Structure 1
């Protein structure tokens, strides 16, 4: 076995954990895979023989890569709803989903998108993956006390997250109202069904706030005219068909009879992975 093959074998032993960290940090399969690939590139270019704790070294690298990606995402202009695929509804590893539910509840992914990149990294690495604050501080370029404070602040926001509604009948009524308002370009109608802190997620970035999301929804009007009610992976959603096949899909998260998250899948690969039932 060559030295490069041996290094690749060692890296593969850590891939699932790195991918789980990247998923929680980025909320996107494509970006998580890009981050893992970048970690491999950095490892292959390093003096790997001098690395005593490869798992810790790789966690630090994936953390820095994800932090850079989150900061870059925030520095770009926010994208409208139809500008790129949203992948927050994609399936994660079952073990990691169980860990997620046990740790912070079902509202985590909603809240993570409202945290700053530094808060998100500190919370995910420490609370979900037990990375010591001393290591997190090195990634952030801050003191351990500052890293602890960032995680504490994020934790308080997560604990205060509303529990999503589960009444499918009421959810459908809210989505129907959202769809009607989008078709008419009715800003007030959209604001009436959107939570003030609603987020719309895409690979291009996260749009936050009811006014910004409503503006994006109004630009979705041309597609909303042909959107159909559907269950998308069991969740209340909408689907647009082209030649009888799903071309894009929206899923919604709710709290207190308002929409708190809108997830949009546009790429053929993502849409094909979704289980869609017209209703």
Structure 2
């Protein structure tokens, strides 16, 4: 997103740095609400466009610009979520949230030729893992907005109510309903080191085509979901059962020649990527329960792999990420 040095009212804006400092917060909020980095970028751009469409007098009259920006972004996200439900009815196959790499793996460059600003990066925490985002997809738009704003970003229900357009009491009920959905879907916690080892074992077994080892690493009732978006070949429906999943994985490797499997962090959790001729063609996120893999999400839609494929790697490993708090 291009940032103006002057907002168009004929004189420098002394509050520009303070306004733009909210950008990462808005990007983090919008991604959690929408599950799409591209949509989150659009929301942030539209939010700032509305700010700079106001006169200087109107801007000065706003006591808390950060709260105003959040309110506007939240309302835009609510509208996008409502329309997204209609769009996804025509989406080819399963829809999976856009996967994100860890900061040191982030790719600079965008499909529109603009560089990815560090402020557009997403803070990776427990509210960003794929299992969490998938549960959010099952919520109503109002539930999702109320829950993320209150439980993740710690906004009081009085402020959430202004964004959602309901009473604080109604927003409290929405967040409570969302919490129940999260608790019902959560798998027992597995230590991160153990998760990483299981994913590493899965990678090695896949590369070795060790069918028995692959099956032993999967829960017997495991589920695999793939998202090709109708752009590339992919499963149109979830696969259930360890043996069926393994058969599909072996078939995929047979279809894609020179497939290289690499272990990477996906949305803050141990995951895998598949590369063909040096280009990432699939990103795999896992949910591990105990010592078995319970769910696999495979994203193959190229439109959702921009941070993994566009341009050279960005190596600013020391960049400080901003936590999702007010």
TM-score by length of 2: 0.60
- CA drift at 1:159: 3.1
Alignment partner of 1:262 is 2:297: yes
Equivalent in 238, 241, 253 of residue 213 of structure 1: 238
Higher helix share: 1
Larger CA Rg, structure 1 vs 2: 2
CA distance in 2 between counterparts of 1:194 and 1:49 reads: 55
- CA drift at 1:36: 0.8
Which ranges in structure 2 are unaligned for 5 or more consecutive residues? Answer: 104-118, 210-217, 316-326
CA distance in 2 between counterparts of 1:51 and 1:200 reads: 45
Equivalent in 79, 83, 100 of residue 92 of structure 2: 79
* Aligned residues of 1:29 and 1:90 also touching (Cα < 8 A): no
Mean Cα displacement is larger for which, 5-14 or 25-34? 5-14
Where does residue 41 of structure 1 map in the other structure?
49
Alignment partner of 1:231 is 2:263: yes
- CA drift at 1:260: 2.5
CA distance in 1 between counterparts of 2:276 and 2:128 reads: 36
1:175-254 equivalences under 5 Å are: 194-195=222-223, 212-214=237-239, 225-226=255-256, 227-233=259-265, 235-242=270-277, 245-254=278-287
| 1:207-251 deviation digits (Å, cap 9, x = unpaired) | xxx983349x98xx7776214443233834351403xx1241221
RMSD: 4.3
CA distance in 1 between counterparts of 2:157 and 2:229 reads: 29
Q: Secondary structure at the match of 1:212?
A: coil
- CA drift at 1:38: 0.8
* Aligned residues of 2:97 and 2:133 also touching (Cα < 8 A): no
Equivalent in 149, 154, 166 of residue 173 of structure 2: 149
CA distance in 1 between counterparts of 2:145 and 2:306 reads: 30
CA distance in 2 between counterparts of 1:18 and 1:142 reads: 22
Where does residue 108 of structure 2 map in the other structure?
none
TM-score by length of 1: 0.69
CA distance in 2 between counterparts of 1:88 and 1:75 reads: 22
Q: Which has the higher contact order (CA 8 A, sep 6+)?
A: 2
| 1:145-174 deviation digits (Å, cap 9, x = unpaired) | 111111111122223411465455655777
Where does residue 117 of structure 1 map in the other structure?
141
